[in-house]
Amino acid sequence: MHRRILAPGALAAASLLLAIPASAASYSPGAPGIGDPYYPYYGNGGYDVSHYDLRLQYQPATDELAGTATILARTTQDLSSFDLDFLLDVSEVRVNGVKADFATSGQHELVITPKSPLAQGTQVTVVVRYSGVPSTKSAYGFDTWHRTPDGAVAADEPESAWWWYPSNDHPLDKATYDVSVAVPDGTQVISNGLLQSTSSKLGWTRYNWRQNKPQATYLTTLAVGKFDITTSTSEGGVPVVNAYSKDLGDNDGAARASVERTGELVDWLSGYFGPYPFSSAGGYVPNTTTGYALETQTRVYYSPKQFANGANTSVVVHELAHQWYGDDVSLKGWKDIWINEGFARYAQWLWSEHEGEGTAQELADYVYASHPADDAFWTVKPGDPGPDDQFDIAVYDRGALAIQALRNEVGDDAFFAILKGWPKEHAYGNASVADFEEYAEKVSGKSLSALFDAYLFEPTKPVAPAVKAVGAVAAVAQPKSWKQIEATNDVH
């Protein structure tokens, strides 16, 4: 061992080093993405969030949003720094009470460097103070914060959190939420879960919403505007909270005639999927010009356009089915989107059958027959569609066709056992298409890999006779409900 006399500068450097834990070499930055191949920078590495507390103020007139996010997390590695996904302007960050350095990086990364590095497996409290005008921000070409004539809405998939709260923005990291937002008196705030309380002071009304079950970041929603809020309880005991913009014009009646049936439809779906997994249900219809609907947890987002042709219970069934398939059991990676959209579409088919507007088999036959083998429809693989085709119609319709094929293969007893067993198997968790195949094989006792490959993973039309009654396909009339399903095809 060499001994040498240290120069004063070197000594200072050496004593600084002593402040860092002995294993400092193992401390490294958390990854800027959680590891999803479709979206390399979505989510982050090195920690797991358990709770978000968002305490905000929003002024509709100017689109100014300001406040504080308090994030409770646990480290999953020794961290020298870590990222949050966020677009607004940050003024201060504290980690475990101590001011931390922060910087922006890439399109939507907030890089936080705590004063002391964080050891693996420890609890961390992160406080982020921020403000900004969300409608002026964009990343990767997205600007999904939607202003309305009297407020704004955050509801999109997968990108919606970055415009209003800092997060580990990926379904793999679910957490509970308190969303507290103050708005000018006379304006309402809608979010997930149950409204705990409201309070007023100095011309502002604060709404305190709570989601007490794990929730993916993209399923966390915020709407500000002038709403009429209705409350009820379903026959099965689920509290229902719905909200309608006071500015829905001609769509108001049809919106209410659809969304007010939420309690009835939640109870009906429970018959197929098992007990409703959350402490409230409902939806809101803001005065947006967007066209889609979204399964925001417990409080579904509906565009008024969904109701332009009259009552649309089919879209309500679709979004409520997601509460089990997508929200309770969330995907592991965005390539698993079939578990969300295929099953939500299949629930619409079950509803069509229940309403006497065409059976699931007839609808499956119709999908099969209406796309010839050379149709680009069959080039989309629902089991791994790629980010550009994540919400392609094939993920929905070919995806539901695959589910009907599964039903025909395993028989109704096993099929409905799978449908109901899956949410229980992965309650409040995450699962992949591969996990689903494994589960379906376990319950049915059949090898299903050929069927899954043909229906979900080949870029070609599956060969008959895996679709029952395929010989009669040419004669299948368009089921009555088809127009309704088609009208909402590209929007939910």
Chain contacts with ligand ARG (rule: CB under 6 A)? 156-157, 292-295, 318-319, 341, 391, 492
Cα(121)–Cα(342) distance, integer angstroms: 37
Interaction with Zn ion in 219-238: which residues (CB under 5 A)? none
Pick from 433, 360, 432, 422: which is nearest to 397 by CA? 360
Residue 420 Cβ vs Zn ion, minimum distance, rounded to whole Å: 20
Please say whether the beta carbons of 75 and 129 come within 8 A: no
Bridge partners of 94?
99, 127
Q: State in angstroms the smallest separation of the CB of 209 from ligand ARG.
A: 21
- Among 377, 349, 153, CA closest to 245: 153
Question: Of all residues in this chain, which one has the CB nearest to ligand ARG in the complex?
Answer: 292
Nearer of residues 292 and 415 to ligand ARG, judged by Cβ: 292
Residue nearest to Zn ion (CB): 344
Strands of the sheet with 204-215, listed across from one edge: 98-99, 89-95, 123-132, 64-75, 47-59, 175-184, 204-215, 194-201
> How far apart are CB 294 and Zn ion at their closest, in Å?
8
Return the closest-CA partner of residue 224 out of 185, 167, 170: 185
**CB closer to ligand ARG, 77 vs 192:** 192
Site for Zn ion in 12-51 (CB under 5 A): none
CA angle 169, 171, 173 (to 5 degrees): 75
Query: Tokens in use for 428?
Result: 């409040």
For ligand ARG, the closer of residues 313 and 408 by Cβ is: 313
* Interface stretch with Zn ion, choices 103-111, 335-343, 400-408, 455-463 (CB under 5 A): 335-343
Considering the complex, state which of residue 204 and residue 272 has its C-beta at the smaller distance from ligand ARG.
272
Q: Which residue, 336 or 341, has its beta carbon nearer to Zn ion? A: 341
For 164, which DSSP code? T
Residue 311 in contact with residue 319, Cβ under 8 Å? no
- What is d(CA 401, CA 451) in angstroms, rounded to the nearest whole number? 11
Residues 190, 55: Cα–Cα separation, whole Å: 14
Residue 36 or 295: the one with the smaller Cβ distance to ligand ARG is: 295
DSSP string across 365-424: HHHHHHS-TTSGGGGS-TTS--GGGTT-HHHHHHHHHHHHHHHHHH-HHHHHHHHHHHHH
Report the residue number, 34 or 337, with the smaller CB distance to ligand ARG.
Answer: 337
Residue 190 binds which of ligand ARG, Zn ion, none (CB < 5-8 A, kind-dependent): none
Q: Does 300 bind Zn ion (CB under 5 A)?
A: no
Nearest to 419 by CA among 349, 489, 365, 335: 349
Shortest Å, Cβ 319 to ligand ARG: 6
The distance of closest approach from Cβ of residue 124 to ligand ARG in the complex, given in angstroms and rounded to an integer, is 31
Partner from ligand ARG, Zn ion, none contacting 154, C-beta within 5 to 8 A by type? none
State which residue, 238 or 393, has the beta carbon closest to ligand ARG.
Answer: 393
Residue 157 binds which entry of ligand ARG, Zn ion, none, with Cβ cut-offs from 5 to 8 Å by kind?
Answer: ligand ARG
CB of 158 to ligand ARG, least distance (A): 8
Q: How far is the CB of 301 from ligand ARG (least distance, A)?
A: 9
Task: Output the six-digit token pair for 103.
Answer: 């910087």
Q: CB nearer to ligand ARG: give 47 or 343.
A: 343
Kindly tell me the burial class for residue 367, based on how many C-beta atoms sit within 10 Å of its own C-beta (0-12, 13-18, 19 or more): buried
Cβ-based nearer residue to Zn ion, 217 or 296 = 296
Asked if residues 73 and 50 have their Cβ atoms less than 8 Å apart, the reply is yes
Whether 233 and 263 have beta carbons less than 8 Å apart is answered as yes
Q: Pick from 126, 320, 344, 363: which binds Zn ion (CB under 5 A)?
A: 344
- Nearest distance, CB of residue 152 and ligand ARG, angstroms: 16
Which stretch in 266-274, 337-345, 431-439, 454-462 sits in contact with Zn ion by CB under 5 A?
A: 337-345
Does residue 88 belong to the site contacting Zn ion (CB under 5 A)? no
- Least distance between ligand ARG and beta carbon 318 (Å): 6
Amino acid at position 52, single letter: Y
Q: How far apart are CA 399 and CA 346, in angstroms?
A: 8
The partner in contact with residue 165, picked from ligand ARG, Zn ion, none with C-beta cut-offs of 5 to 8 angstroms by kind, is none
Among ligand ARG, Zn ion, none, the one that 292 touches (CB under a kind-dependent 5 to 8 A) is ligand ARG
Give the integer Cα–Cα distance in Å for 303 and 154. 12
Q: Which residues bind Zn ion (CB under 5 A)?
A: 341, 344
